[in-house]
Amino acid sequence: MLRIRAVCGNGIGSSLMAANHVKNLCNELGIKADVASIDFANAVGERADLYVTIKDLARQFPDQSKVVVIRSYVNKKQIAEDITERLQQLAANQ
C-alpha cells in the first residue's frame, strides 16, 4: 500500500481537497493507497512514498524524488494529469 500525503501550508483546506481527489484517482486506477492531508511543517518529518503539493512548497522538501508537483489543489482533471504516471510507476515498483 502506498503512503501518500497531500501537503499545503496548514494541512486543513487545500490539501484536504487534493487528498480526496488523489484518493479517488487511486481507487479509479486500482492502486491501494493510504492518502491523507498534512501541513508542510509536519510533512517533512513524516515518512511517505509520495508527497503531493504545489511548486512553492515542493521546492522546500529535502528529498525531491518523493515529491510530485500539482498545478491546483482543487482541479481534479489537472491533478490526474499531474500525478497519474507517477502513481502507476510507484504501484508497479511495490
Give yes or no for a contact between 35 and 81, defined as CB atoms under 8 angstroms apart.
no
Give the residue carrying C-alpha cell 479517488: 24
Structural domain that includes position 82: 2-92
Residue 89: closest CA among 47, 29, 5, 36: 29
Overall number of domains in the chain = 1
- Residue for cell digits 488523489? 22
**pLDDT at residue 12, rounded to an integer:** 82
| pLDDT tens-digit readout, 6-19 | 999 987 899 999 99
Predicted local distance difference test score (pLDDT) of residue 86: 97
Contacts of 34 (CB under 8 A, 6+ apart): 1, 2, 3, 4
pLDDT in tens, 50-90: 999 999 999 999 999 999 999 999 999 999 999 999 999 99
CA gap 54, 32 in Å, rounded:
23
pTM for the model: 0.95
What's the CATH code of the domain at 8? Answer: 3.40.50.2300
